[in-house]
Amino acid sequence: MQKKIKDTSKHISNKVKAYSKQYMKTNILFLSFVLTSVLNAMLLRYLTVKNYFDIFPILADLAVVVMVGAFGYFFKPKNQFKYFATCSIFFTVLCVINSMYYTNYLSFASLSLLQTSLQIVDVADAVVENVMELKDFSYIWAPIALFFLNHALKKKDYYKKVAEIEVGKVRALNTMVFGLIVIGVFISTLNSVDISRLGKQWNREYVVMRFGIYTYQINDVISSLKPQISPLFGYDEKAREFREYYDKRSQEEHKENEYTNVFKGKNLLVIHDESMQQFVMDLKFNGEALTPNLNRIASEGLFFSNFYAQESVGTSSDTEFTFNTALMPATSGTVFISYWDREYVTIPKLLKEQGYYAFSMHGNKGSMWNRDTVHLKTLGYDKFYNYKNDFKIDETIGLGLSDKSFFRQAVPKIKKIQEKNKNFYGTLIMLSNHTPFSDIEHLPDPIAVDYKYEKENPETGEKETVSAPYMEETKLGNYFKFVHYADSAIGQLFDDLDKAGILDNTVVVIYGDHDAKLKESEYEYFYNYDPYTDSVLDKDDPNYRDVDFYDYELNRKVPFIIWTKDHENDEKFTKEITKVMGMYDVLPTLGNMFGFTDKYALGHDIFSTDENVVIFPDGNWLTDKMYYNHQKGEGKVLHDGDTVSIDYIEKYNQMSEEVLNVSDSIIVYDLIKKQDEAKKIVDDYNNK
């Protein structure tokens, strides 16, 4: 009996070995396609989120690749290479695009960005100079390896031998069954949080870390169809969440404060300061301030020194949207491209109810970010002045009309608007300080970003002034030069506005729309350069400053200033506010000052809130005590001696998710319009 069992076991073992050997020999191309594609996905995670050996995303990527590869068996063996090569190239392109995108945005690309592809044409230089790196092309080895493998297999008559034994449909079915088993195993590891984050998609780094790049991309395709599909499904639930959220908000007591209605009846002029980060306001080169005009204006006005832009992939357009609506950017795509035809409550609309004339001006093409449509039809400006339609292109820097020429031509137009209207609300969108910061030759008198110091001449023994050009010809150094120019343009604008008498009854607001989108390595070099040795400090040096995730994120804050000539000597209007603040807090804060309200605003009047929170589109959040990284489930306490509890973190995690969900529902489902229509129907019925 034992011998029979032993013989049977041996027979089965030999059969399995023989089958495995034959399978390996006759499925070389398929197995190579699967292996190279999964390795590329691991390589991408290694270069981005650093969890390349985590078994869960490997399983997810393996399942996708196996299921895609299974369809290759429906082709004859001699044609299978074309299918696998095409799929390999496609997966490789996905990896390259996501690698480049992560380098620039610390997030992953979305299919919905194809809708913004026309915007890339105007910033192609920025893509080449600031985004592309050699590492981003390390994935192309996969299709190349398949090409060489195919060449070798042809020499050995591989495809002829496979054709003699292969039953394509059977192998396709067996492969799909294996893929489904892998999917089942992977699904069994998921919890409700994982599934929730996959569906919501805003925490993209987490999705890639947990589900792999290929699953993320499939899910993104589904999410990218939300503008067309979502309004058809799930409306009732989203509408209920919307009503419950704002019912709760309406119970919050509206607090009047010392700034309530202080600017009622005044003009409002907003300067959208392109790519201006706040840390540049603290910099000097050889005793010369980098931003003397911004520094002066900040000292003469209300300066919010912990202000963050909250933009997403729509960069400037996201900021314009959030500034004017107090809503968050869309989680998929951009409002200006995908959701411009919704109804929003905006600053231009609210001020027009008070008799204001609303206008915006920009020195770039009106079609950029669909502004020529959005500014007029969505945000509610009366007129959008732009590019060649309204400005003479007599001086260009970077992407278009220089800021100084733009401002020179804008002032007479504003003067005419002032003369014809009771009040105005205007937005001036700057352009010159836009990535890639390479058009140095067109900058007038660019500031020298070097370090001058005295050094003894070894030959003469006399002291002489020498220069350490440590920031010259670096991307960050070039950024500083463009910042200095933009600051000079703002100084010129204020002088011209004052001479024209426009500042006498006008409040000026200046905000940075987002950070410069430069890499962490640029800052590490800046902070750790030793001019006396013309070298960078070693990481073991006690003076070395490591720019980690939190340093980089906290440094992305931008200026926000509210300035008025009429109160320049009043301490109430000339002080620094250090409380953390986000772009979605601007509308409620200005509303309190100018006498308008928006019941759908997600932010708060900064002067009426005890502890504010800035929520970012990826789910991260910031308070005066802590920056929390939602992707990694960890945070940084900002000040020594401060402590935060688990309840504190859970409170703001819940608030972050709630705000992002409500904002996205408003955008996708057009809830403001539909809820107002429903209320009108009820009111009309009750009034009959």
pLDDT digit string, tens, across residues 479-525: 999 999 999 999 999 999 999 999 999 999 999 999 998 988 899 99
Mean residue pLDDT across the chain: 88
Residue 308 phi/psi, 5-degree rounding, is -125, 145
Is 232 a member of any domain? no
Do β-strands 356-362 and 423-429 pair in parallel, antiparallel, or remain unpaired? Answer: parallel
Q: Which of 137-146, 165-174, 219-228, 639-648 shows the lowest mean pLDDT across its residues?
A: 219-228
Among 159, 145, 178, residue whose Cα is nearest residue 66: 178
Residues 220 and 247 placed together within one structural domain of the fold: no
pLDDT of residue 316: 94
The span from the CA of 513 to the CA of 255, in Å, is: 28
Both tokens of 160, joined, read 């002829």
Residues 577 and 443 placed together within one structural domain of the fold: yes
Is 233 a member of any domain? no
Give pLDDT tens digits for 374-392. Answer: 999 999 999 999 988 899 9
Q: Read off the CATH number of the domain in which 248 is found.
A: 3.40.720.10
Is 259 a member of any domain? no
Both tokens of 255, joined, read 């607090």
Residues 219 and 244 placed together within one structural domain of the fold: no
The total domain count for the chain is 2
Both tokens of 347, joined, read 């600053």
Is 262 a member of any domain? no
Residue 425 phi/psi, 5-degree rounding, is -125, 120
Q: Which of 105-109, 115-119, 461-465, 517-521 shows the lowest mean pLDDT across its residues?
A: 115-119
The span from the CA of 443 to the CA of 70, in Å, is: 57
Residues 184 and 283 placed together within one structural domain of the fold: no
Is 260 a member of any domain? no
Is 478 a member of any domain? yes
pLDDT of residue 236: 85
Is 235 a member of any domain? no
Contact 607, 257 (CB under 8 A): yes
The span from the CA of 31 to the CA of 23, in Å, is: 10
- At position 476, the amino acid (one-letter code) is L
Residues 283 and 428 placed together within one structural domain of the fold: yes
Give pLDDT tens digits for 653-677. Answer: 999 999 999 999 999 999 999 887 7
Residues 204 and 353 placed together within one structural domain of the fold: no
pLDDT of residue 625: 96
Residues 596 and 457 placed together within one structural domain of the fold: yes
Residues 529 and 483 placed together within one structural domain of the fold: yes
Residues 79 and 152 placed together within one structural domain of the fold: yes
Residue 10 has pLDDT above 90, yes or no: no
Is 261 a member of any domain? no
The span from the CA of 32 to the CA of 615, in Å, is: 44
Average pLDDT over residues 529-553: 91
Residues 351 and 499 placed together within one structural domain of the fold: yes
136, burial (CB in 10 Å: exposed 0-12, middle 13-18, buried 19+): buried
Question: Domain span at residue 392?
Answer: 240-254+267-687
Residues 307 and 366 placed together within one structural domain of the fold: yes
pLDDT of residue 52: 79
Residues 412 and 549 placed together within one structural domain of the fold: yes
